[in-house]
Every structure is written in structure tokens, then in C-alpha cells.
Chains A and B, each alone.
Chain A
Amino acid sequence: MNKFTPIIGLEVHIELSTKSKMFCGCSSDHFGKAPNTQVCPVCLGLPGALPFANKEAVTATVKFGQAFGSRINSFSKFDRKHYFYPDLPKSYQISQYDMPLCVGGAFEDKRIRRVHLEEDTGKLVHETINGEKSTLIDFNRSSVPLMEMVTEPDFHDTVSIIRFLKEAQMVARYLGISNADMEKGSMRLEANISLSTEEGIKKGELPNYKVELKNINSFKFLEKAINAEIKRQEEILTAGGTIHSETRGYDEVKQTTYSQRSKEEAKDYRYFPEPDLPPMRFTDGEIEEIKNSLPELPKDKRKRFADKYSLSNDYIEILISNPGRSSYFEEAVSLGQNWNLSAKLIADLMINKKLDLQHPEPAGLIKKVVEIIKVEYSDGSDVETAVNEVVAEESKAVKDYNNGKGEVVGFLMGMVQKKLKGKGNPSMVREKLLNKLNER
């Protein structure tokens, strides 16, 4: 019995892999670097330091929005979002409030509200130093460009959420703007979850509360975390209780969510336009130019692979999930044409045999495939033996052949192949069979 429908909206954060940080010249490649080695007055928020916007990050965000059909705001700006936390050195985060770079868009039936650009924060590291529990701050991540995509509350189950996230990840990789790796923290998810009744759905009303589930850091836990929260809410509502809007986290060990902050303690971020950064203006021509620079996107490749290669959807998804792998496939197919190797065979060898991992170049894979096919053919003497046996055994067919019934060759070839367990090289079998038949 399912009385409730989960109503879920997503906030997806993707760290952009630009060369430098969002507002300064420090390297944005912070993963695994020694703490506080990639910092400067700007990303440390020192007195007097000023932000200087990274154009590459702005373009990357515009591309990402365009990939999902967003409208690009011709006038956009940065805003200051204020809150106090030790990993936020300026006491405000430079983000975008009411004029994000990208508005609207969708992936299939899931609508996107906006995509905006902001800066990441530093990182707190909890350690015991000389027996004392201490918290240290690493600012290497401070001011790394962070793109945030906000969806409408169009999700009702984890399957569609994972599908959506995989698409976002794939698009980011296709555009070369981020690895969007959840485990490394370059893609992070927050889900706003509430449950609607049948009546509510009919009336088209959203529930009067929402629970923000924060910092879901792996695909592995995503499903468990969201389902745990759905279950928690179901139990409360079924028992006739009410749910308060709040922020919750997921405990991976206990596999339950726990309250982090109630709505009453909700923060007033005191947004106002960032005076240190002039607003961004884009002409139609500039927006068009960026759009024209987009590579083929997953959705287009998906369609093309289905049309051109007639592969199953599963195969297509696996191949296109990695742009490098899909172009490898296409090159291999093109090379394989010389040996009549089918696209399906190549896809098979890549997906089931992982041959592409052993051969970094598609040409290497094709060479190997051709070799395998050769090796698997029975050798010449086996073929000869089989031919001799068949000619001896199938006297009727041989007689027919001698009477000018050429079509029996196919039958005889089949019989030879049967003896060879199908391992005969067709041209060799044919050649030896015809020689044998004709010498009589």
C-alpha cells in the first residue's frame, strides 16, 4: 500500500576543473594536495583582497546550462551570501542570487530551475594533536569554482534521481568542465524531500514542508539515504504526525537520517549584489558562439548510436557514459569494416571482454580481433580431413554436384563445418571442397 508520493527536488553541486580558482590565480586542482599550499590573499579572504572572476568558469557554466536547454541571462551578476563558518574566510560566499547565469532547461521530463556559479569553501579537518581534539582549516578548496544546478520538485523515486545525476555527470565530462566525481567531492547532492498524499497530487499542491537532505557524497549512499528519509517521513505521517521543515544529514553507519538544523534556526543570508564584481553581460552573438562550440552531447549521441549502429540501449548507455570510450568504439567500428566486423561484435568485445582496456588504441583492438578469429579457425589439415570424410560420406550430394547441381556445395560446406564444429574458415573450406570435388 502506497499512500504517499515522494516529491523530491535536487540541488547538484559540481566543482569545475578550471586551471585557476574562481576569483584568484591559485590552482583549482586541490584534491590530495598538502593543506594550505594553494592559497593567496584572495582565497584566504585577507583584508583588502578582491575577487577577479574566472572567465573560463563562467563559460563552462553557460555551456552546461545550454546542454540542458537553459536560457542564458544576457545580464547576470554575483551576490554575497552571508553566514559565519570557519571554512568561509570572508564571512560571505560569492554566489548568484536572483540573476543566475542559466534559467530553465530540462532532462527528459525533469525540469531544471536554474544553474548558477559560486565559489567553494575551505575544508575543516578534525584531528587529534598532542592528545587534544583539534579542528584545522585547509583553504586549498576555498574559492574553487562551484556550479550549482537546482531542479524543480519533479522526482518521485531514486531511480530517476540516479538517472538524472548520471546524465549531469556525463554532460560535465562531455563538456570537459569537470570530472563530476562524487567520491572525490567534485559532485555533491542535496535533496529536498517531502511526501504528498493522493489528494495533494490531484489538487496539484506541494506539501507544506520540505526536508533538506545534505551532503550525499556517493551514488552508493544516495539511494539508501533518500529511501531512509522517505521511510522516516512515511512512518511519521502514517502515525498521524506532522513533519517540520529542517535540514538533515545521513548517517552511513546507522543508515538513518539525523536532524542538523531546524527551520526556526534557518539562516538569513542577507544577499546583496557583490560590489567588487561588475555585472556580466552577454550579447546574443556571444551566447550563440558558446552554443556552437558545444561538442555532441550524450542525448544526441544516444540517438545517433541507436540509428547508426543498432545497438541495444544497455550497450549504448555503457558506451556513451564515457566520451573517450564512445569515440574509441566509433574508431574501432570504422577500422573493423575492412574485416567485416560488425558494430555489435566490437561493442561486445569492449563491454563483455573489456578488450579496449587492454588495447589503448582501437587499431590494436581490431588487430587482436582479426588474430583471434584466425586462430580459432581449424587448420588446413583438419579441414582437408573433414572435406575428405564428407565427400566420402555424402555420395548422393557428390553425384548431384557432378550432374551440374552446384547448389549442393552449400550443403556440403555445412556438413564440413559440422565436423569442424563451425571452426572452419569459410573461404578455406569452400576452396578445399571445390578442389576435392573437381579432382574427381
Chain B
Amino acid sequence: MKNTKDIPLTIKETQEGLLKKKFSAMELVDAYLGKIDEEKDLNAYITICDDEAYKKAGEVDKLIANNSLDFSENFPLLGATIGHKDLFLTKGIRTTAASKVLNGYVPAYSATAVARMEKAGGIILGKTNCDAWAHGASGENSDFGPTKNPWNKKFVPGGSSSGSAVSVAAGLSLIATGTDTGGSIRQPANFCGVVGLKPTYGAVSRYGIIAMASSLDSVGNFGKSVADVETVFNVTKGEDGRDSTVKNAEFIKPKGKIKIGIPKEYFVEGVDKEVAESVIKVSKVFEKAGIELREISLPHTKYAISVYYIVQPAEVSSNLGRYDGIRYGNPRADFGAEAKRRIMLGTYVLSAGYYDAFYLKAQKVRSKLIGDFEAAFETVDAILAPVSPTPAFKLGEKASDPLKMYLADIFTAPANLAGIPGLSIPSGFNEGGLPLGFQLLGPRFSEPVLFELGKLYEKETDYKAILPNL
């Protein structure tokens, strides 16, 4: 591969190129690592693992040389280069959660998702930057410095899976993994113009992924097309005997005439005009393709952030307790301001005498939110909504105001509280040249419906992934 501009943009293109010997996996890895190096100032990666990448590339090339038949069924990710969010444990490769507390921590085992993607033929390139412990919506909370939006480096890429979104958007890897606890995949996908999936809670194992808020964490991925995201989802989903919240459930498949609901609570004051208009434009595309649109109501949406910022810090405070300064080499003082804030908030809401007023009440309201979605899905198959009230904002713009930052999750957190899947899809650019997009939400285990709709949208709009001019 002579020019990094020739890097393939989909799994299909990659595998065709490899099988037709247009390039080898070694050359592919060379090109990607070269590009990561060229775009160092995006700060998308915390750790690059050249050795592992070349080793795996060698294995892939060998596999291709020894197999004349189409064997991609056994290796759906053959040759696909991966950036793993630095929350995913990778055996023998430093995993930091973008926090100084874990700087230097080398795990003894790999996450289920990491192991499954590797077995499927994927090539790990490195560990991507993120908000420390996945706390944040801008990528600025990383102890390894902020990641920058490849479409305009003065802007944030969104977060917390900032590096993964940027890696895919800028062509630093073909695919990338992420976690979505309150929007941490869908929002950076939206800010960076790539596809991002937050699967159903309980569809993909959380084993080996540093926990943020255990009842909300969802393990998903980024790609430049819905088909790629679907492929990675199919590789990573399903029981592993380690995460007992994962079920091999029967998925809901698209059938009959699909109806999409548009929640009026997601088009309220404070939503950027271009964002709202772009989502309405998307709805017209679906309508034109024969999908029925309906206005729906999710009346408890306005409570979602309050509920989320009680449940989530409570679980965060519990999950971070193990980093007590004894075992992982670095002192507790290395926790950043946001982690400390959440540990204190969470400890407070779980304390005797406050539990009922905060945590228990929040869980009751959470049930109301779930009820909203259940009622909505009685009448529609999926929901179309904006991902974030605004497109990407400027670096530093909200960094000093945590409350403002928390509101960035307003349209994404409800899906986490309800455990339903969400697919974030790009739909173009605003006047300032920043990506716009939308999200599709569906009932639990309805990923196939969301993929079908996403692919329909791509087809109707003749969507082609493009890389930013860097």
C-alpha cells in the first residue's frame, strides 16, 4: 500500500483486498501504524502495540496463503484493524482506563470481547484514549490529554469513547470498540461522523472491561458503516459464562411494515436548530422509503439525567473502591477531579439515611422511564431521535462546568437506563463542517431491526464514508 489514502474503509473492502492480494495484512498494518503516527496530534491512542499488530498480521497473511476457499465465515473480522478503548483489558498490553491510577497496569487476561475479536481474525493496533474511567462527554477528562475532533481540531470528539471514535473517523483503524454507559459510544460517533452501536444491556459480555456503572455499561463498537458495526456486534455478542447478565436471547427481526416513532420530548428548547432539522430530514428519508412515521411521547425523559446522575455515581463509587492504592502501584491521589466528584456523589447517595431518598427513588423513576419505552414500542418498532442537543463543541467550552457537561447525555442516557439498544448514524455536516447524525432506538434485543433501518438509510442516501482532510 503506497499511500495511506488507499486504506480500505470497510471490512468487505479490506477482506477483498487481502484475498485478491491487492495488499497483505502486513502492509495494511504498516499503513495504519504510519497513519496513527502521522496523526499523533489527534491524541487518539494511549498505547500502540506494534508487536502484537505485526504478529497478528503475519498470522492473517499465513491464513490467507493456506486457504484458497472463502473462509471468512470463520473469520468475520479477518484483517480488520482494531483500536480498543483503554477500558478493555488486553492480556500483556497496558490498560489504563486513561487514568494515572492504572498507569503501568498490564492485565493478566483479556476481555471476552477482545478475545472474540482476535479469534475472529481482527488485528489489534492499540489502546484508544478516552475520558478517565469513561467519565465524560468530551474526551477532555483523560489523564493522557484530550483527543481532538478530526473534522476540526479545535473541537472535542465527544466522549467518553473519544479515541475510538476518532480512530475510526480519521482512518487510524478500521473499527474500534467502546463502552456506552450514558452515551459514550453514540455521542462521540455523532460528533465524529461515524457509526456507533450501543447494544442491548445483556447482549455483549462486560467481562474484562473496567466497570464504570455496572447496571448501565454496554459494550459496543464503531465503524464506518452499519454493516461493519453489525459484523463486530455478531462477533462479540452472546453468553460467555462469565457475565451472568448476558443472555442468548431471541433477537427481534424486522417484519412487516416498520413504524418509526419520533419523541416530541427530544425536540425541545435547547436543541440546536441544525441538529433538529437534520433529524427531521432523516425522518423524511425513511418516510420516502415506505416507513410509517408517528409522533410519540416519552413523558419521563426530563427526569433521565437526574436519575442517571444518582444511579451512575453510586455504582461508580462502588466499582472504583478497588483502586485503593494498595494493588495497582499508584496512589488514590492520582484520581482526577471528575472521578473524585463521582465517588463522593455516589458514596453520599448510598449512605445510610440517604439511600431511600436518592438511590431507591431514582430506581423507581428508572422504572417509569422503562415504562415509557415499553409503551412506545407497543405502537412503533423503533424510535428516531437526535443523539446530542448540539454538534461537537469547542475544546474547553464545558470543561469547567460539570453540570453543563452532564447535560450532553440528555438524549442518550435514557437508553442506558432502559437497557435498550441505540445505533448512532452520521447524516452529513452542519454549516461549520462538523458532523451531524441521529440515533435509532429499539426494544431490547432488536438490534437486527436497527441494522436494517440503518442500512436502508445508507442505501437511500447513497452513503459513502469519507475521511477528513487532515
Residues of A in contact with B (beta carbons under 8 Å apart): 41, 45-53, 80, 82, 84, 86, 89-92, 268, 270-272, 275-278
Contacts and interface: CB of A to CB of B under 8 A. Distances in A.
A373 B242 CA distance: 63
A403 B89 CA distance: 107
B214 interface: yes
Given A46-B108, A48-B89, A50-B242, A270 B207 contact: no
B315 interface: yes
Contacts of B322: 45, 47, 89-91
A278 B207 CA distance: 15
B395 interface: no
A98 to B, nearest CB: 11
A373 to B, nearest CB: 61
A138 B309 CA distance: 37
B244 A46 contact: no
Contact of B243 (A45, A50, A82): A50
B404 to A, nearest CB: 28
A89 B213 CA distance: 18
29 contacts: A45-B322, A46-B109, A47-B95, A47-B102, A47-B211, A47-B322, A48-B89, A48-B111, A48-B208, A49-B207, A50-B242, A50-B244, A80-B318, A84-B321, A84-B324, A86-B326, A89-B322, A90-B322, A91-B322, A92-B321, A268-B351, A268-B352, A270-B350, A270-B351, A270-B352, A275-B213, A275-B315, A277-B244, A278-B245
B31 interface: no
Interface string B343-365: 00001001110010001000000
Given A49-B208, A91-B324, A275-B215, A270 B318 contact: yes
Most buried by B among A41, A48, A86, A272: A48
Most buried by B among A49, A84, A91, A272: A272
B105 interface: yes
Given A41-B208, A52-B244, A270-B352, 7 more contacts: A48-B211, A52-B243, A82-B318, A91-B324, A270-B318, A272-B350, A277-B245
B108 A53 contact: no
A272 B244 contact: no
B2 interface: no
Given A89-B327, A276-B244, A48 B209 contact: yes
Pairs of residues from A and B, 8 with the lowest C-beta to C-beta distance, nearest first: A91-B321, A275-B215, A270-B350, A275-B214, A48-B208, A47-B210, A48-B89, A268-B352
A45 B352 CA distance: 25
Contacts of A46: 107-109
B206 interface: yes
A84 to B, nearest CB: 6
B214 A276 contact: yes
A355 B210 CA distance: 60
A90 B89 contact: no
Nearest to B110: A48
Contacts of A48: 89, 107, 111, 206-211
Interface string B190-227: 00000000000000001111110111000000000000
A93 to B, nearest CB: 11
Most buried by A among B211, B243, B317, B318: B318
B214 A52 contact: no
Given A272-B355, A276-B245, A92 B211 contact: no
Nearest to B87: A48
Nearest to B348: A270
Given A80-B318, A272-B359, A275-B214, A47 B89 contact: yes
Contacts of A50: 206-207, 242-244
A90 B214 CA distance: 14
B241 interface: yes
A86 B245 CA distance: 28
A294 to B, nearest CB: 27
A156 B64 CA distance: 78
Contacts of B105: 47
A275 B419 CA distance: 13
A90 B107 contact: no
Interface in B60-116: 89, 95, 97, 102, 105, 107-109, 111
B132 interface: no
B314 interface: yes
Nearest to B205: A50
Contacts of A80: 318
A92 B108 contact: no
B117 to A, nearest CB: 15
Interface in B34-69: none
A53 B347 CA distance: 26
A196 B352 CA distance: 29
A236 B229 CA distance: 72
Contacts of B109: 41, 46
A343 B395 CA distance: 90
A46 to B, nearest CB: 7
Contacts of A278: 244-245
Nearest to A42: B242
A82 B213 CA distance: 16
A92 B323 CA distance: 12
Interface string B307-349: 0000000110110011010110000000000000000000100
A270 B352 CA distance: 7
Contact of B321 (A49, A82, A86, A271): A82
A88 B163 CA distance: 34
A90 B318 CA distance: 9
A279 to B, nearest CB: 11
Given A90-B321, A92-B321, A47 B107 contact: yes
A277 B355 CA distance: 20
Contacts of B352: 268, 270
A100 B245 CA distance: 20
Contacts of A90: 321-322
Contacts of A82: 318, 321, 350
B327 to A, nearest CB: 7
Contacts of B207: 48-50
A82 B322 CA distance: 10
Given A46-B108, A89-B322, A52 B210 contact: no
A51 B244 contact: yes
A271 B359 CA distance: 11
Interface in B354-393: 355, 359
Most buried by B among A80, A82, A275, A278: A275
Contacts of A271: 350, 355
A52 B95 CA distance: 24
B244 A270 contact: no
Contacts of A89: 322, 327
Contacts of B210: 47-48
A211 to B, nearest CB: 21
